A and B are shown apart, each in its own frame.
Chain A
Amino acid sequence: METMMILIIGVLVVVATYLLLSKNIIRIILGTALLSHAVHLLILTIGEVKKGDVPLLKETPGPYTDALPQALILTAIVISFGVTSFILVLAYRAYAQNKTDDMEEMRGDEHE
């Protein structure tokens, strides 16, 4: 299971990196979204999968899966949502200002 998971993560990283290196700003944003998916899965996978029960003390007798990675990922999900929305709006504003969504055209002057 873990081997397969890591391979998926690998594919996600490759796609995300390729998207990040594009010119179009929407592709770049999609790249960050994909990269965060990959990282979330990675944290969970490395913290031993399917080794215990749902970490709810009253519901199941245990042993429980590691709850710490889950807490970390929960935080990460919300933060990456905040970041994604921020860059999206940045893209929107940049387009309104510069009339382009091509990052190479937004490079600015040589000595700014």
Chain B
Amino acid sequence: MITKWAIILPFIVAFIIPMIRSKLKKTHIGWIALIVPIVLFIALLRFIPQVAAGKVYEHTWQWIPSLDLSFTTYLDGLSMLFALLITGMGALVILYSIFYLSQKEALHKFYCYLLIFMTAMLGVVFSDHFIMLYFFWELTSVSSFLLIAFWHHRKASRRGAQKSMLITVSGGVAMLIGFLMIAHMTGSYSIREAIQIMPTELTNTLFIPAMVLVLLGAFTKSAQFPFHIWLPDAMEAPTPVSAYLHSATMVKAGIYLVARLTPLFAINQSWFWTVTIVGLMTMFWGSFNAVKQTDLKALLAFSTISQLGIIMSLLGMGSLVYVFGYSPATVIYTQAGFAALFHLLNHATFKGALFMMVGIVDHEVGSRDIRRLGGLMSIMPFTFTIAMIGSLSMAGIPFFNGFLSKEMFFEAALRIQQADLYSSTAMLSIIPVIVWVGSVFTFIYCTILIVKTFFGSKDKLPRDRKIHEAPKGMLISPFILVTLVVIMFFVPNFFARYLFSPAMLSLYPNTGTMEQLTPHIAAWHGFNTPLLMTIAVVIIGVILFKLLPKWRGIYNTLPERFTLNVLYDRGQNEVENVGRFMTNLYMTGSIRHYIIYIYLFFIVVVGGYFIKSDSFAFDMTKNAPIEWYEISLMAVMIIAAILILRAKSRLTAVVLNGVLGFGVSIFFVLFRAPDLALTQLVVESVTTVLFLLCFTYLPEWKKEDTPKYTKLINMAIALSAGVLVVILSFAVLHYDEFKTISGFFENAYELAGGANIVNTILGDFRAFDTMLEVVVLLTAGIGVYTLIKLKPRKERKKNEDQ
């Protein structure tokens, strides 16, 4: 039950917040939003002991049972870890944002989007149904889009929002196709059932395509190389959003998916290779590029990309246990998976704190460009402390949690080197090298972050304002986070016991007991290779940092026009141009052209298939008898129809149309349809009145001055449409391959208590149709009313682009 309410509660509050906005003029509306994550966080904490004991809570809510669609949520170790992350970070970020965003902003929108995001994210981690997972997955993209474009008057915000939306949603669609393939192979939409069944489908031809498509979704969401380009642009969002969505939670949805589906795919070795290599490339590329950034947020964005790469590659390395099959000797590989989970939480703590720190600097100084910052240490001592702890943890220096997970990362990379994977030893031996080089760059950008912002001279700071320490409220959240950074270093095994071990069970089910899967984390493990690697990282890092101006030039070796961003922009422009060109080709604005398209389609496709299948039929033998008065009525109708074309005045035409309508109603009488005749009679009168009313406002029609060949084309289309209708009608006239269903309705009296069959169909058997029809009618009425009464308001002032 907790899972269901956890998903629904933020959504409900998201709806309430815009409504109560006007009631709360004085209070910052964030305080109300803050209640949600706190309540959920505490509610989830209560379940920790049971979940840590290996219990799984599950709740099913039947939606469409006949289609096997149900809304199943469950809470196990992995979703618990993520849910705590989402609600915990959510609470801290909302608390921070209360002080970061002023009352003048559109706060109701901000918190509405943020809570919708929370719903979506909790939905992702709790859903057991692939389609539900996909639904929530895309909802996170949508809410992220709205949040990035929160300051939508800025062009950069809109561009960044669009970019992230395009990339993550296309990845999401690929993932959906992958999900459908999985469901097709395993016959189940339940993630847990699919995991149980999948090992029997290893040879299925869909296996690899499904894996690639699902990974596309995960990689785009988690900003993995080469899809990472949206994340730096997403930094246009308000800083609390960047801290929450684009470093702690949403970008980890891809990590969650990879972790959750590892048992499903990892039996195939290509999973190991893809996830590990993509992760490592991302790790390297992100840290390499972070060094050249001058905007603090961009630096953090690239560092997030790099850290996500670390987690991703660790998950990949951990999946080796499936490749080798479980044995006491291979269980050691799962330690990489453990390190992934550990680093996931560590990253959330130190990166969250760093983002908030940058937000504070931006807020107080008015700039986050390192070329305009410096010497802030003495002005903002608390902010400096936060930045120091966060960066050192990120760089992997002892006494902070980042050190522990970084050591485990080195260890895992070294262990992989020894893995016996046939002839790929050369590939494997590069892994520790990449890891080490990436870590050096990580160390460098962490140093840049601290030194350029807080040390040095104050000369470059903007002079137009008095700079001082941030208000206390803004410091609470980052302070809590850096405290966690330190605590987690000293008691890592406590967190391991209650958070990571149960999550390991979800990552590696049937692979061992919780104890076997949980390594003992120790800060001191002797002078082994990982520690030596760390020492080397620090030494080389310091040297390279000092020499930075000398080797900065390598960033300019890659020409600007080959970068991924430029490729993306050019691709987008091309698609837009081609799209506009194609659209202008046929969207001419002429209604005659559009009607011609419709008719041509009908004539060519229907007529063509009709001729191809040779379905002509003409049978007069079954015809009903015909009377002389019927023939004369038909003659009148045909004459009236043709006269409409030649009518000189519109009044004549409308009267002729009335003649046709009354003729139709007489046919209804002849064909034993009294209800129709009645309705047609009244409708025809009312329609004629309407026409006449409108004529008082419209000019008399002029003779059509269309050129001759246009008239000929019109005539040809009209004639061929008529002929096609006639031959089609003949073909289906006495068609009796299927049994008629009308017999059913003749029991109207027993079934619906009415004797007028037509009316029982309308009011009972097919009442839904009638109801919707009434709605259509009402819509038409409202449409007419608004068309007449509504006057165009004065053009609102357009937002200026900044």
Contacts and interface: CB of A to CB of B under 8 A. Distances in A.
A–B contact (CB under 8 angstroms): yes
Interface of A: 1-15, 17-24, 26-28, 30, 33-34, 37-38, 40-42, 44-46, 49-59, 62, 64-68, 70-71, 73-75, 77-79, 81-86, 88-93, 95-96, 101, 103-104, 107-108, 110-112
Nearest to B658: A33
B371 interface: no
Interface in B657-682: 657, 660-661, 664, 667-668, 670-676, 679-680
The 3 closest A-B pairs by CB, nearest first: A14-B722, A82-B780, A107-B589
Contacts, number: 258
B606 interface: no
Interface of B: 580, 584, 588-592, 595-596, 599, 620, 623-626, 630-631, 634, 637-638, 641-642, 644-645, 650, 653-654, 657, 660-661, 664, 667-668, 670-676, 679-680, 683, 686-687, 690-691, 694, 697-699, 701-702, 704, 706, 714-715, 717-719, 721-723, 725-726, 729-730, 732-733, 740-742, 745-746, 748-749, 755-758, 761-762, 766, 769-770, 773, 776-777, 779-781, 783-784, 787-788
A18 B641 contact: no
A86 B783 contact: yes
Contacts of A86: 780, 783-784, 787
Tell me which of B686, B699, B729, B730 has the highest count of chain A C-beta atoms within 10 A of its own C-beta: B729
Contacts of A85: 687, 690, 780, 784
17 contacts: A1-B625, A11-B641, A17-B599, A18-B645, A21-B714, A26-B698, A34-B644, A34-B660, A46-B733, A54-B674, A55-B757, A57-B756, A67-B757, A93-B788, A101-B698, A103-B590, A104-B590
B606 to A, nearest CB: 13
Contacts of A82: 776-777, 779-781
Nearest to B710: A21
Contact of B725 (A13, A34, A71): A13
Contact of B729 (A45, A83, A90): A45
Given A6-B729, A21-B592, A55-B758, A1 B777 contact: no
A62 B588 CA distance: 55
Contacts of A9: 725-726, 729
Contacts of A19: 644-645
B173 to A, nearest CB: 29
Contacts of A50: 624-625, 670-672
Contacts of B697: 92, 95-96
A18 B645 CA distance: 8
A6 B726 contact: yes
Given A37-B660, A71-B758, A92-B694, A44 B673 contact: yes
Contacts of A68: 741-742, 745, 761
Given A8-B634, A21-B718, A74-B676, A26 B687 contact: no
A3 B621 CA distance: 10
B721 A14 contact: yes
B706 A8 contact: no
A5 B699 CA distance: 36
Given A1-B623, A40-B664, A57-B748, A15 B645 contact: yes
B673 to A, nearest CB: 5
Contacts of A33: 657, 661, 687
B784 A64 contact: no
Contacts of B672: 50, 52-55, 65
Contacts of B777: 78-79, 82
A86 B769 CA distance: 21
A51 B589 contact: no
A50 to B, nearest CB: 4
A49 to B, nearest CB: 5
A67 B715 contact: no
B315 to A, nearest CB: 49
B757 A57 contact: yes
B702 A24 contact: yes
B690 A2 contact: no
Contact of A89 (B702, B773, B788): B788
Tell me which of A38, A52, A75, A107 has the highest count of chain B C-beta atoms within 10 A of its own C-beta: A75
Contacts of B637: 8, 11-12
A6 to B, nearest CB: 5
A52 to B, nearest CB: 7
A5 B691 CA distance: 27
A42 B724 CA distance: 13
B641 A34 contact: yes
B723 A10 contact: yes
A66 B739 CA distance: 13
Given A66-B742, A84-B690, A71 B766 contact: yes
Given A9-B729, A55-B672, A101-B699, 16 more contacts: A1-B624, A3-B620, A13-B718, A15-B644, A15-B718, A17-B717, A34-B644, A40-B676, A40-B680, A57-B756, A66-B740, A66-B742, A92-B698, A93-B788, A95-B699, A103-B591
Contacts of B780: 82-83, 85-86
B758 A26 contact: no
B596 A21 contact: yes
Contact of B657 (A8, A30, A59, A110): A30
Contact of B592 (A23, A44, A54, A108): A23
Contacts of B781: 82
B624 A11 contact: no
Contacts of A91: 694, 698
A84 B687 contact: yes
A50 B672 CA distance: 7
A97 B733 CA distance: 47
Contacts of A90: 787
